[in-house]
Structure formats: C-alpha cells, structure tokens
Amino acid sequence: MVAVTKELLEQGLSRNGAWSRKQLIALGVPIRKRFKLIKGWKDRLIGSEVTEQQKTLFLELKDKHIKKVNTTGLLFGSLEQQHMKEICACL
C-alpha cells in the first residue's frame, strides 16, 4: 500500500492543472453525476492508502484526457513564418 500525499496528487496534475475523471476513479475518489466532486475530497484522500497499481494507473493517465491540437498550417503559424523570412531577408 502507498500513502496518498499532496506531492503524489501534484505529480498527477495535467498540463492544464487538473485531474481526469479516470485518474480520480483510480484513486477511489467518489464522483457524482456530471463529474461533481464531494466537497473536501482532496483533504480526505491525502493520508489514505491506495495500492501500487492504483498509484501507477493514476500517474499513467496524466494528460491522457487532453486532446492533441494540430497547429500545423494555421494562419498564425503561416504569418509568423512569413514574417521571420522577411526579417531574415532584410539582414
């Protein structure tokens, strides 16, 4: 068994600063409909114990819920590249 710590929870934070539903379920956090969390869930979770498998799954699921955005070919990128070419041509 592994103790849930504040540091463990911070390790699992996504790059957007949150946890996914699947991550919290992996740690046994009770979740209501529409992803409503019970007030004080984090304080109750810290200090509790989970299995090594639960901890591993929690960390493996980090950022898995974030959709990848394809930024190639966006107007901003094209204008930025064109601007850089113009600057380099002036040098």
Residue 91 — very low, low, confident or very high, per pLDDT cuts 50/70/90? low
Nearby residues of 38 by Cβ (< 8 Å), 6 or more positions away: 30, 32
Domain span at residue 86 reads 2-90
pLDDT in tens, 45-59: 999 999 999 999 999
Report the pLDDT averaged over residues 62-89.
Answer: 64
Q: How does strand 49-50 pair with strand 2-3?
A: antiparallel
Count structural domains, the chain.
Answer: 1
Predicted model pTM:
0.70
Report the pLDDT averaged over residues 35-40.
Answer: 91
Nearby residues of 13 by Cβ (< 8 Å), 6 or more positions away: 19, 62
pLDDT in tens, 18-28: 999 999 999 99
Q: How far is 74 from 38, CA to CA, in rounded Å? A: 41
